[in-house]
Chain A
Amino acid sequence: NAGVTQTPKFRVLKTGQSMTLLCAQDMNHEYMYWYRQDPGMGLRLIHYSVGEGTTAKGEVPDGYNVSRLKKQNFLLGLESAAPSQTSVYFCASSYSMHPGKGRGNQPQHFGDGTRLSIL
């Protein structure tokens, strides 16, 4: 009964380093999302995917890349980390992008987050 699992939970990087955040879901959801949460800003969508092999930009995509090679996994990459990318990152998944459509009112299910600090 894992739901959405994010790896790692914490990470400290130096400016210019690269890393990949992994999100895995075991609910057979089609849609997956990456958000960042910053103080006073709520959750902002970085990238999302509507199915295996597809990705799309969200509200704040600059500086990030994503890949969805397998339906259950959604990877978020930082090629050259910057201090402005210090944040808490959340992955989410859902049956439908529009809550209320298909399979009842299925909302997005979130992982527990990755706290990323860039020095």
Chain B
Amino acid sequence: DQQVKQNSPSLSVQEGRISILNCDYTNSMFDYFLWYKKYPAEGPTFLISISSIKDKNEDGRFTVFLNKSAKHLSLHIVPSQPGDSAVYFCAASAQKSSGDKLTFGTGTRLAVRP
């Protein structure tokens, strides 16, 4: 039972264009969402997060949008750069439920073409 889903295993975009990575979740108790970025042979690194009390959070070229009614979030990267090529994991947490941990999606591999 995959509670956090990233239905696109891969995405290819041209340098300078927008990259949009999508994530869907099924557990309505999730109230905090994160995106991690992972390069080969390295561990995931935190990129950006959003609380369920917001619908948008922006950090430089990265913006995360949350649509609670649709149980959907997306990560926008504008403009995309070749260094953004990595695997992106969406993760979710339920703060109000003690003992809950991060639940990760299966990841989307982004390739940014020069």
Contact = CB atoms under 8 A, between A and B. Distances in A.
A107 interface: yes
Contact of B41 (A42, A44, A101, A113): A113
Contacts of B51: 100
Nearest to B94: A98
Interface string B56-79: 000000000000000000000000
Contacts of A40: 9, 106
**Interface size bracket, B side:** 20 to 34
A94 to B, nearest CB: 9
A107 B95 CA distance: 13
Interface residues of A, number: 27
B20 to A, nearest CB: 19
A97 B32 CA distance: 12
A43 B89 contact: yes
Contacts of A105: 49
A99 to B, nearest CB: 6
Contact of A110 (B41, B43, B95, B100): B43
Contacts of A43: 44, 89, 104
Interface in A64-102: 90, 92, 97-101
B29 interface: no
A42 B101 CA distance: 14
Given A42-B107, A48-B101, A99-B93, A112 B43 contact: yes
Contacts of A12: none
A116 B102 CA distance: 23
Contact of A107 (B9, B34, B100, B104): B34
Contacts of B32: 98-100
Contacts of A44: 104
B43 A101 contact: no
Interface of B: 4, 6, 9, 32, 34, 36, 41-46, 49, 51, 89, 93, 95, 99-102, 104-107
Interface of A: 4, 33, 35, 40-45, 48, 56, 58, 90, 92, 97-101, 105, 107-113
